[in-house]
């Protein structure tokens, strides 16, 4: 869900800048800073972003850059002239000396320097600004698409690694059963030195080994791996679903580790957990 987009448009003497960036979030968390003239369009902008981006912590900024000449504060000539007449008349009537520097005096009086900036947003200007908004969002979406393609490659790499590790467990399963049988019989014959019913021992071994059987966990994990790949190709809006599948994968890997009772198998389980953790970290970036 991370992305960045920026666009610039020109309307008459204005340069309109639009910037939008997003980070990971479970829902759409949008904050907007919009130049005063365009605030009447804020809900329209918010709705557009919500439709296009769906999720993420999004920061949207729209500001305007004007020519320096237009930024200067104008002098209210009518007010200045009225002050001048009043002060001149008062000086003549009272004998109070007139100011040595009229401009320095007059420009400090109230409302002489007044920034009268009552503007209305025209349809033509908004059409230009809205195109800049669309362009910035398009660039952010394109950025996200590139990130998504890189994530897909990363996910497939990690899924392939887990699949290979899962297959490598089979080598140790037969050996594990033989070791369990050997360890128990050695304990009975050498350590405890007792006679035992071999048929009963065989039954108990079968029961014990069934408790440690991981075929179901392996099958379910293989299903989850396949389902993860299928979900990736189902289109956007699958981030939460992929997160749930990753949790189920973790459950099967943990159960396999608790049942393995074999050093090499447990090492493989640790490697699978490491690959899965990297998947879980990156799932947060998926829409």
For 174-227, the pLDDT digits (tens) are 777 667 777 766 666 665 555 656 676 666 666 666 677 788 899 999 999 999
Q: Are 96 and 134 members of one domain?
A: no
What per-residue confidence (pLDDT) applies to 15?
92
Q: Are residue 92 and residue 174 in the same domain, yes or no?
A: no
Name the residue with tokens 């790499």.
157
Do the Cβ atoms of 5 and 145 come closer than 8 Å? Answer: no
Residue 111 is assigned to a structural domain of this protein: no
Other CB atoms within 10 Å distance of the CB of residue 110:
8
List the chain residues with pLDDT less than 70: 1, 67-72, 114-118, 177-178, 184-198, 200-210, 235-237
CATH of the domain at 49: 3.30.230.40
Same domain membership, residue 135 and residue 173:
no
Residues 102 and 212 in one domain: no
**Residue 19 lies inside a defined structural domain of this protein:** yes
Are 213 and 231 members of one domain?
Answer: yes
Please give the pLDDT value at position 142.
93
112 in any annotated domain = no
Q: Which residue has the tokens 């960045």?
A: 4
Asked if 153 and 97 sit in the same domain, the reply is: no
Q: Domain limits at 91?
A: 74-106
Does residue 173 share a domain with residue 81?
no
**Tally of domains in the chain:** 3
Q: What is the pLDDT of residue 26?
A: 78
pTM over 0.75: no
Give the HSE-up count for residue 174: Cα atoms under 13 Å, Cβ half-sphere: 3
**Do residues 166 and 272 make contact, with C-beta atoms less than 8 angstroms apart?**
yes
SS3 category, 277: helix
Tokens of 75: 């002098």
b/e sequence 127-138, b meaning 16+ C-beta within 10 Å = eebbebbebbbe
* DSSP codes, 85-141: HHHHHHHHHH-PPPPSSHHHHHTTSTTSB---------HHHHHHHHHHHHHHHHHHH
157, 271: one domain: yes
| Residue 273: how many other CB atoms lie within 10 Å | 17
């Amino acid at each position: 869900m991370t992305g960045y987009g920026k666009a610039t448009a020109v309307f008459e003497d204005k340069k309109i800048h639009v910037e939008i960036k997003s980070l990971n979030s479970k829902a759409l968390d949008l904050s907007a800073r919009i130049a005063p003239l365009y605030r009447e369009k804020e809900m329209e902008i918010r709705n557009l972003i919500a439709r296009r981006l769906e999720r993420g912590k999004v920061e949207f900024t729209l500001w305007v850059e004007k020519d320096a000449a237009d930024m200067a504060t104008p002098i209210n000539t009518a007010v200045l002239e009225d002050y001048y007449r009043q002060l001149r008349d008062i000086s003549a009537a009272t004998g109070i000396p007139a100011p040595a520097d009229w401009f320095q005096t007059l420009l400090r009086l109230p409302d002489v320097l007044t920034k009268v900036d009552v503007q209305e947003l025209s349809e033509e200007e908004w059409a230009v600004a809205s195109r800049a908004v669309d362009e910035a969002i398009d660039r952010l979406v394109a950025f996200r698409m590139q990130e998504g393609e890189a994530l897909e490659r990363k996910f497939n790499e990690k899924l392939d690694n887990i699949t290979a590790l899962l297959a490598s467990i089979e080598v140790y399963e037969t050996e594990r059963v033989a070791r369990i049988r050997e360890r128990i019989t050695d304990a009975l014959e050498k350590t405890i030195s007792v006679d035992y019913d071999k048929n009963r021992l065989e039954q108990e071994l079968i029961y014990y080994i069934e408790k440690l059987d991981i075929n179901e966990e392996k099958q379910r994990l293989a299903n989850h791996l396949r389902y993860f790949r299928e979900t990736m190709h189902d289109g956007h809006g699958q981030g939460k679903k992929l997160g749930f599948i990753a949790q189920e994968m973790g459950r099967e890997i943990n159960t396999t580790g608790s049942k393995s009772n074999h050093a090499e198998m447990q090492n493989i389980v640790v490697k699978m957990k490491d690959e899965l953790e990297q998947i879980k970290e990156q799932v947060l970036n998926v829409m």
